[in-house]
Structure 1
Amino acid sequence: MKKDLGPAGANLPALRSHNAALVLDLLRTAGEPGISRLELADRTGLTPQAVSKITARLRAEGLVAEAGRRASTGGKPRTVLRLVPSAGYAVGVHLDRDELTVLLADLTGATVAERRR
């Protein structure tokens, strides 16, 4: 008996979001030197075409930018990508009994501002 798994593609948005998060995390950990699309494909297990689509969306959203070229072992030089730190921010709040700490961090996780009261 065949098990009904629901409509085909029902988890496609979740899968896209997961794959984009994988790519963003690798871009974040690559830091200033950046990472090529081919390296992203190798490290995520995604196809080069999937990585190209994901990085194109991230570039269109202003989250990722080209950061030059890196020599290749064969063929044309690889385009290196990196996060645009100022493209987004996160706010963290820590409340103790005697102190409130608010922190603002950019996309790379670097502290932009911190206040304690």
Structure 2
Amino acid sequence: MSAQYLKNINFEQTLKLMDLVEYQPGQVVSRTLVQNDHVGITLFSFDKGELISTHASTGDALINVLTGKARITIGGKDYTLAEGESIVMPNNVPHAVYAEEKFKMLLTVVFPY
């Protein structure tokens, strides 16, 4: 068997990513699929009104909204994203994520080599 780099996910099975992380009242819930020196892939669910406060990352981060609606702040500018929409948060630029309503996202972060 070859090495498996993904974790917390079933292999060779049809999946709905948004079903792999549940909503919890008053919480942000995450499920890490990959985390290493080069890439991070994490599923998140946010209850309405929950947030990840302003911070910066050394990697470029791609948000894919799976369901619901979020406000993404990048470098002080707000963007509203809904189901099926994506945005890139450049490395070393402060950003934050706020749940306008319950929402789920897939976050992919690519770090410099």
Could you state the TM-score of these two structures normalised by the residue count of structure 2?
Answer: 0.25
Looking at both structures, which has the greater relative contact order when contacts are Cα pairs under 8 Å and sequence separation is at least 6? Answer: 2
Which structure has the larger Rg?
A: 1
TM-score (norm: length of structure 1): 0.24
Counting strand residues as a fraction of each chain, which structure ranks higher? 2
More helix per residue: 1 or 2?
1
